[in-house]
Amino acid sequence: MKIGEAASRLGVAVHVLRHWDDEGVVVPDRTPSGHREYTEEHFHRLRVLRACQGVGMSLPEIRQVLHRDEPERVGVIERRLHLIRTQRARLEAAERFLVHVVDCEHDLLTRCERCGQYAT
């Protein structure tokens, strides 16, 4: 498929696909006349790229994830997993705190031991 169709299907501007190509993240085939040609495999890689962006990865990190022969690939993935797990733990603690606050019977949150535990 041509670059315009791939961009439309993915929901991004054409210049974004060109940038990702220039950065070596997803490099499409070229026609004899030099136009970019995206296969279904390229499109699948583009969708994985978008998913990686969704969890906060940079293009250099995504390039390492998409290319199995990259030496730091596993390290990039493990660092991102650590960040996600840390964020999840913080969000779960915040949720527990807020659920408690809704039903907290203390006139001031500072007088509640459970509320104080969250702040430390």
User: Could you state, in order of their start, the residue ranges of all structural domains in the chain?
Assistant: 3-70
Q: How many CB atoms lie within 10 A of CB 20?
A: 20
Nearest-angstrom CA–CA distance, 100 and 112: 10
Q: Give the closest residue to 27 by CA, choosing from 18, 2, 8.
A: 18
Model pTM score? 0.76
**Phi and psi (nearest 5°) for 77?**
-65, -45
Alpha carbon 10 to its chain's center: 16
Q: Give the closest residue to 119 by CA, choosing from 39, 111, 78, 71.
A: 111
Question: Residues 31-78: pLDDT tens digits?
Answer: 999 999 999 999 999 999 999 999 999 999 999 999 888 889 999 999
Tell me what pLDDT residue 55 has. 92
For the domain made up of 3-70, the CATH class stated in words is: mainly alpha
Does the pLDDT of residue 2 top 80, yes or no?
yes
Tell me what pLDDT residue 81 has. 95
Split at pLDDT 50, 70, 90, the class of 110 is low
Split at pLDDT 50, 70, 90, the class of 105 is confident
